[in-house]
């Protein structure tokens, strides 16, 4: 018997990859890496009413973009495929029939109208709305007659209605749930497709999953799943239910209150490294309580035992800070590649690669996300456009002295260097008596279009001598 750890990420192709789903995928991935196990991707696409065209491709592309590599799954294969549940329906039919034979499940012929009427009556009586089990009482003859007539049906779990079930969760330790609060779950729908509850139990067993790491919202479904494991005589995997992701107001993170799709964050210019680091800390912390982790370091440090029970607040300010850190610290060439699409979209032509790298090096120290890079870099591509307040500063006597002084002296400098620019700044103070903001504001405004911006050597080095002289000449009164 193999002791290999096997975990799975099993999303439904219903659109975008939610940040909460990314955390689930990441924790599964990290646990597999930490233990030398396998990380499996399985597509749970049995709910045909929620299926969205292109969602699977989008999911696979997002996982690749973010840097989470799975060991088995779509496009890769493995020993336990197929990895699309829609291609495994015969397997589920076999096991649902076995449950009926064992009296662990039953046929339910109730129509949608009957179920709706039942629900309304229960609500009117002030009781929880759930299936009342009326089809449990059907005789074998009634069932055979209904089947012979082709009457539509679903297959439901035949759950206990007394006592409680106790199980252990890695995060929550002992959990007890009364059976009377658990609905007779539908296992096979009227269209012949299984629900999540049957399919995931069967697949987790057949794919030899050892640990189930998933969101807290599935905790209440554990009794339904353990009932199935027991009915089949299978050993269940260990359970680990992750805390909710919360908005700052402590409500559940949802699209109604802003972006929650990984694709949206990537499109805005958040780096994969920052997203993974940030998401890893939403409910988990290391022994040292550090905040900055590469994926490789997370693989070494991660532990299921250090996952919190309480909900984790999605703090966008912290994500911005973290993304800014990675923008400044990661290799310049890598950041320049990530930034290039934003320049193309803005219509900024990159003619000189060395100049482009210099622009990125300056800009990345002034932004939090890459989508801000073109606004910061625009003055290097487009000549300044001055408002009335700018023009007042430009036309001041001291400003004009500065511009003329710099224009005449810069013409004589053969090679622009940090030393040459700093020397000219010093001479401006010594020979013109202009210093501080009276020196820096007018010059930066003329060359960069704003009184705030990068250091002068960087501005002039990027613009080049000719463009710098041109911009100075533009602001000198003729």
Residues noted as catalytic:
255
- The continuous run of DSSP H or E covering 238 comes out as strand 238-242
Phi-psi map region of 50: left, alpha, beta (phi>0 left; psi -120 to 50 alpha): alpha
Closest C-alpha among 263, 258, 278 to residue 26: 278
Nearest CA among 321, 323, 312, 315 for reference residue 268:
323
Write down the residue that tokens 């991935």 correspond to.
29
**Alpha helices in 212-315, H assignment, sequence order:** 222-232, 262-268, 272-280, 295-301
**Helix and strand element counts for the chain (H, E):** 19, 11
Helix (H) / strand (E) element for 166: namely: strand 164-169
3-state secondary structure of 375: helix
Query: CA–CA distance from 176 to each of 168, 173, 179, 237, 311 (Å)?
Result: 9, 10, 10, 18, 20
Backbone angles phi, psi at 416, to 5 degrees: -75, 125
């Amino acid at each position: 018997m193999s002791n290999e750890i096997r975990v799975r990420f099993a999303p439904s192709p219903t659109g975008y990859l939610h940040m909460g789903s990314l955390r689930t995928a990441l924790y599964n991935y990290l646990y597999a890496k930490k233990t030398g196990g396998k990380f499996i991707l399985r597509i749970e696409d049995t709910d045909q009413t929620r299926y969205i065209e292109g969602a699977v491709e989008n999911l696979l592309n997002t996982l690749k973009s973010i840097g989470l590599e799975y060991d088995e799954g779509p496009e890769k294969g493995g020993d336990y495929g197929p990895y699309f549940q829609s291609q495994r329906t015969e397997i589920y039919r076999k096991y649902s029939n076995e449950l009926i034979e064992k009296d662990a499940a039953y046929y339910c012929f109730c129509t949608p109208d009957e179920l709706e009427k039942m629900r309304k009556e229960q609500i009117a009586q002030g009781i929880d709305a759930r299936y009342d089990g009326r089809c449990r009482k059907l005789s074998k003859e009634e069932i055979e007659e209904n089947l012979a007539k082709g009457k539509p049906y679903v297959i439901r779990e035949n759950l206990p209605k007394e006592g409680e079930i106790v199980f252990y969760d890695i995060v929550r330790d002992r959990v007890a749930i009364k059976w009377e609060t658990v609905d007779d779950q539908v296992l096979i729908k009227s269209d012949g497709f299984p629900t999540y509850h049957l399919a995931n139990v069967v697949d987790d067993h057949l794919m030899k999953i050892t640990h189930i790491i998933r969101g807290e919202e599935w905790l209440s479904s554990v009794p339904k799943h353990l009932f199935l494991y027991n009915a089949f005589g299978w050993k269940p995997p260990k359970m680990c239910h992750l805390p909710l992701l919360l908005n700052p107001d402590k409500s559940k993170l949802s699209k109604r209150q802003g972006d929650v799709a990984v694709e949206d964050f990537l499109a805005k210019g958040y780096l994969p490294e920052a997203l993974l680091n940030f998401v890893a800390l939403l409910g988990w912390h290391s022994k040292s309580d550090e905040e900055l982790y590469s994926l490789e370091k997370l693989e070494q440090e991660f532990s299921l035992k250090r996952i919190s029970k309480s909900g984790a607040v999605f703090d966008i300010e912290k994500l911005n800070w973290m993304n800014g850190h990675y923008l400044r610290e990661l290799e310049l060439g890598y950041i320049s590649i990530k930034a290039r699409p934003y320049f193309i979209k803005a219509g900024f032509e990159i003619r000189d690669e060395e100049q482009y790298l210099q622009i990125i090096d300056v800009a990345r120290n002034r932004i939090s996300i890459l989508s801000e890079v073109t606004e910061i870099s625009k003055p290097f591509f487009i000549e300044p456009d001055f408002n009335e307040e700018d023009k007042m500063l430009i036309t001041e006597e001291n400003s004009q002295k500065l511009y003329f002084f710099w224009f005449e002296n810069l013409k004589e400098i053969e090679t622009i260097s940090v030393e040459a620019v700093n020397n000219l700044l010093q001479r401006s103070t010594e020979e013109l008596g202009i210093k501080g903001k009276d020196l820096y504001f007018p010059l930066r405004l003329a060359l960069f279009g704003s009184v705030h911006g990068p250091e002068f050597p960087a501005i002039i080095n990027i613009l080049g001598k000719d463009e710098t002289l041109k911009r100075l000449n533009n602001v000198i009164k003729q």
